[in-house]
Amino acid sequence: MAPIRRIRESCSVMARGPGSLAAVARRSTFVNLARNALRPSYLPVMLRKIKARLRPPNKDEALAWASEHAESVEIFGESLDPELWAEANHWADGFEPQAQSILSTIGVPLGGGGHHRLLYFLTRFTIPETVLETGVAAGWSSAAVLSALSTNGSGSLWSSDFPYFRLDNPERYVGCVVPEALRDGWNLYLKGDRSNLAEILPQCGAISLFHYDSDKSYDGRTFAMDAVASHLTPECVIVCDDIDDNTWFRDWVLKRGGAYRVFERGGKYVGLVGL
């Protein structure tokens, strides 16, 4: 009788209209937050994320700077290697419908992916032996890097993530769009950057491609870059997503000096250093 009762309750909620559905969704989110907060490895990361969201992000200033410095990613890719850029576009055009199909079946919001076309291209162009990424979510960027590494015939991906704690059993969704055939040898850690990087960095070796797409707060970015700095090769290519969220990328590249690039994608901005 229990399953039938649940179905009846769901139908009753739907009959009461969108407001009731929204209330159920909010209640479910609250329950998931409370449940995940009871997990010792989750609570400290959750508190840091909440604290970071309360700080002024200087978003308008960051957005204006990124917009002013943005260039065409297509021209960039074609100028370095037109054949590889065409390959990256071909891969993305085939992968995107597959990933969207998986996500529509899951039916939970997992946020947007990184610039997967660019990441596929960079992985093919630089032929890295070690790639580090922070932030996985559904796994768009992970799939791009793993696909390119497979085509390269060598290299490994080390990924740091912290599952969406507003969801029930959130670990099951991490990397859900990554094809099974690419998962062998994928080094995936799920305790948040502070714990994950402490485990990853002593093992992974020198990093020649670094994709940052996790904690978007100013402090979070500073922590991660300070942590990985001594593990990057001199030629390491660094990609930072959502640089318009705050002024961290602007401040960092101006302080370090040297060339940098900014690309616009879907109203958001990606920063690149190393090419």
pTM for this entry: 0.80
Per-residue confidence (pLDDT) for residue 17, from 0 to 100: 46
Per-residue confidence (pLDDT) for residue 170, from 0 to 100: 76
Per-residue confidence (pLDDT) for residue 187, from 0 to 100: 98
**What does DSSP say about strands 268-273 and 261-265: parallel, antiparallel, or unpaired?**
antiparallel
Per-residue confidence (pLDDT) for residue 38, from 0 to 100: 52
Per-residue confidence (pLDDT) for residue 110, from 0 to 100: 75
Q: Which tens digits make up the pLDDT trace of 187-223? A: 999 999 999 999 999 999 999 999 999 998 999 999 9
Question: Any idea of the CA torsion for 254, 260, 262, 263, to the nearest 10 degrees?
Answer: -170
Per-residue confidence (pLDDT) for residue 22, from 0 to 100: 38
Per-residue confidence (pLDDT) for residue 58, from 0 to 100: 84
Positions in the chain whose pLDDT score sits under 50:
1-27, 29-30, 33
Per-residue confidence (pLDDT) for residue 14, from 0 to 100: 34
Per-residue confidence (pLDDT) for residue 53, from 0 to 100: 58
Per-residue confidence (pLDDT) for residue 12, from 0 to 100: 38
Per-residue confidence (pLDDT) for residue 27, from 0 to 100: 47
Per-residue confidence (pLDDT) for residue 49, from 0 to 100: 53
